[in-house]
Homo-oligomer: A and B are copies of this chain.
Amino acid sequence: MAGTDDVEIYRVAGIDEAGPGDLTFVANRKYISRIKTTRASAIILGEDIPPVSIPSIRTSDPYLAFARALEQFFAPVVPEQGIHPAAIIAENVTMGSHPSIGAYAVIGKGCKLGAGVTIYPHVVLYPDVCVGDGSVLHSQVTVREGCILGSRVILQNGVVIGSDGFGFAPTKEGSFYKICQTGRVVIEDDVEIGANSAIDRAAVGDTIIRRGSKLDNLVQIGHGARVGEDCVLAAQVGLAGSTHLGNRVWVGGQVGFAGHLEVGDKAVITAQSGTSHDVPPGAVISGSPAFENSAWLRSTAAFAKLPQLVRKVRELEKEIQQLKSSLKMEHSK
């Protein structure tokens, strides 16, 4: 640590809230100006930040360093080990070592739970669900029949895995015939899904969220959709059925995808955009309907000045009329 040999740290805190004894950090350049006013005793900084007057730790990755520091000072709430007497475990359930199954959890027939699984109170597993080692299912989660969760999966409260896909065949009479949804949802290792999100099963085939992807709250994943590895989907995103995201795709909040699309690796779709077309790998797109981001930025800038453009065109039209009459007069001289 630069600046002193002798700082005692008791807590990690945000730059505005930090006081004496606190370690803080700046990972977002927007907050550099606040380094001067923080009352923190020490700060974690990126290597590119100018010198500061308080004790500092320099690192190429201040956000990760902050995450690690936080773990040193934080005692997480640990749910009780064992199976609560008010949990209902159906027959033919297998369970690894060190389970934590909360009150009123309902585990259906034939479920298979790995080692060190944490099931909070009021979780419902329908029959034949698999949950991998070390996964954590928060209260009010439901996992429907036959769905598969990998290892170290985290489901925040109220998540629904495996609800019926939105599949109906229109009849000649104008009503809808429900198509039974026989597919599974497969959530691979190290996926986290945010509160009250819903991942639908399909009529046939699997809906898949691949290893390491992170989905925020209130996200909708339609039947048969697939999310690649290490994707990030911000809150309230919606994928319609059978749309496939590649790996490391970044999706901003409230984005919508139509069905049956292919989105290439490392594509970025900015917040509130919507697309009904495939997205090439690495593309950055924006708007609804979405197109290339830098072109969209120019179009939106022009949109804000559209009334002036309309006026200008009207003026030009008048000038042309005047020019025409002048020319006619000239001609008739």
Contacts and interface: CB of A to CB of B under 8 A. Distances in A.
Given A198-B158, A204-B14, A234 B230 contact: no
A13 interface: yes
A324 B323 contact: yes
Interface stretch (A2-10, A47-55, A111-119, A166-174): A166-174
A308 to B, nearest CB: 9
A81 interface: no
Interface string A214-255: 101110101010000010101110101000000010000110
Contact of A166 (B200, B234, B291): B234
Determine how many copies of this chain the complex contains. Answer: 3
Contacts of A263: none
B224 A234 contact: no
Interface in A288-329: 288-289, 291, 295-296, 298-300, 302-307, 309-310, 312-313, 316-317, 319-320, 323-324, 326-327
Nearest to A315: B317
Q: Which of A30, A67, A86, A296 has the most CB of B within 10 A?
A: A67
B70 A203 contact: yes
Given A190-B175, A194-B198, A120 B124 contact: yes
Contacts of A171: 64
A203 B62 CA distance: 14
Interface string A273-300: 0101000000000001101000110111
A160 B158 contact: yes
B168 A214 contact: yes
B307 A298 contact: yes
Contact of A313 (B220, B232, B313): B313
Nearest to A289: B300
A146 B74 CA distance: 13
Across the A-B interface, the 4 shortest Cβ-Cβ residue pairs: A195-B198, A163-B195, A64-B169, A302-B306
